[in-house]
Amino acid sequence: MLSMPLPRHLRLLAVTLASGLLALVAIGTASAIQPRGITDEAHKMNDLFWIVLIVALVVFVLVAAALVYALVRYRRKDDELPEQFHGGGKIEVAMVGVPVLIVIALFTISMLTLIEIDDKAPDDALTIEVTGFQFSWQFAYKMSDLGTNSDPNADPDDAISIIGTPQNDPILYLPVDEPVEFLLKSNDVIHSFYVKDFLYKLDLIPGRVNSFTVTPRETGDFSAQCAELCGTNHALMRFVVRVVERDEFDAWVAQEAARQLGEDTLVSSSGKQGD
Ligand SMILES: [Cu+2]
């Protein structure tokens, strides 16, 4: 017990400041460890994360301050019972109404974000078929479906394909500032396509195709991995997402096409234009 009790409003101020300080520590920690993400979709999810965190912290500060204040202010001082009463109309309505409004608001914002990030890719978006297998990845790019630099006359079967091994992480090339649609498949067990900087993860399930779309906004190399325990070498199922400018992407495609499909195939597929 304090020998010189602080005035009531000072005590309330002290506990509010203390819980506010805790809330600031939470914000600092979150901003230090939470990746911002590199895609439009990730930025929307990141915004949602901060809205929810800040609302939660405001609620925390108010509830913690009220709790500590009540514990101190109304602690047992003698054997006399305090005044006994039932009900408190206004405060009860507020204690039900305010949380309900907060939940409705957060639900609405979350749904709107979900609808935006689950938006289907435009038809002309680059499409990459991702196949997970024990224990690496295959990335296939169809020559007829390369986004802005597609060859509409390419043979629909012409595709370049990058296949990794557990010892050699495959590189997933993406052009910056363009929507990319991923089609996720698996022929053995369930894997999970997880790119930390997309703030997104989606399972590859045998017998079905899962898809999602992102628009990367930053160039660079970003590490990624399988996020579903899929067997003994699951930990070696890593890959690198390399986001590059369109020019560099086209040069890489041309180089891989020449290597994998050969000059002949390219000539013959453009030769079909006259058909
Ligand atoms: Cu896996």
Please tell me the distance between residue 244's alpha carbon and the centre of ligand 1 in angstroms: 26
Please tell me the distance between residue 140's alpha carbon and the centre of ligand 1 in angstroms: 18
229 Cα distance to chain centroid? 20
pLDDT of residue 108: 97
Please tell me the distance between residue 37's alpha carbon and the centre of ligand 1 in angstroms: 22
203 falls within a domain? yes
Spatial strand order of the sheet with 126-133 comes to 159-163, 136-142, 126-133, 180-186, 210-214
Q: Are residues 142 and 113 in the same domain?
A: no
66 falls within a domain? yes
175 falls within a domain? yes
Please tell me the distance between residue 181's alpha carbon and the centre of ligand 1 in angstroms: 20
**Could you tell me the two tokens for 212?**
């999602």
pLDDT average, residue stretch 105-130: 92
Q: Print the domain residue range for 263.
A: 126-274
Q: How far apart are CA 116 and CA 114, in angstroms?
A: 5
107 falls within a domain? yes
pLDDT average, residue stretch 107-111: 96
Q: Are residues 132 and 160 in the same domain?
A: yes
Domain total for the chain?
Answer: 2
Q: Are residues 260 and 166 in the same domain?
A: yes
Percent pLDDT > 90 in the chain is 56
255 falls within a domain? yes
pTM of this prediction? 0.79
**Residues, CB within 5 angstroms of ligand 1 (ion):** 191, 226, 230, 237
pLDDT average, residue stretch 105-118: 94
pLDDT of residue 263: 55
Please tell me the distance between residue 184's alpha carbon and the centre of ligand 1 in angstroms: 12
Do 179 and 213 touch, CB atoms closer than 8 A? Answer: yes
42 falls within a domain? yes
Please tell me the distance between residue 132's alpha carbon and the centre of ligand 1 in angstroms: 7
Please tell me the distance between residue 137's alpha carbon and the centre of ligand 1 in angstroms: 9
Interior/surface letters 253-269, b for 16+ CB within 10 angstroms, e for the rest: beeebeeebeeebbeeb
Q: Are residues 101 and 136 in the same domain?
A: no
Q: Are residues 19 and 106 in the same domain?
A: yes
94 falls within a domain? yes
Return the bridge partners of 7, or none.
none
Query: What CATH number does residue 269 fall under?
Result: 2.60.40.420
Q: How far apart are CA 173 and CA 243, in angstroms?
A: 6
pLDDT average, residue stretch 245-266: 84
Please tell me the distance between residue 257's alpha carbon and the centre of ligand 1 in angstroms: 28
Q: Are residues 146 and 203 in the same domain?
A: yes
Question: Which range among 56-70, 94-108, 158-172, 200-214 shows the weakest confidence by mean pLDDT?
Answer: 56-70
Q: What are phi and psi of 48, to 5 degrees?
A: -60, -45
Please tell me the distance between residue 133's alpha carbon and the centre of ligand 1 in angstroms: 7
Do 164 and 233 touch, CB atoms closer than 8 A? Answer: no
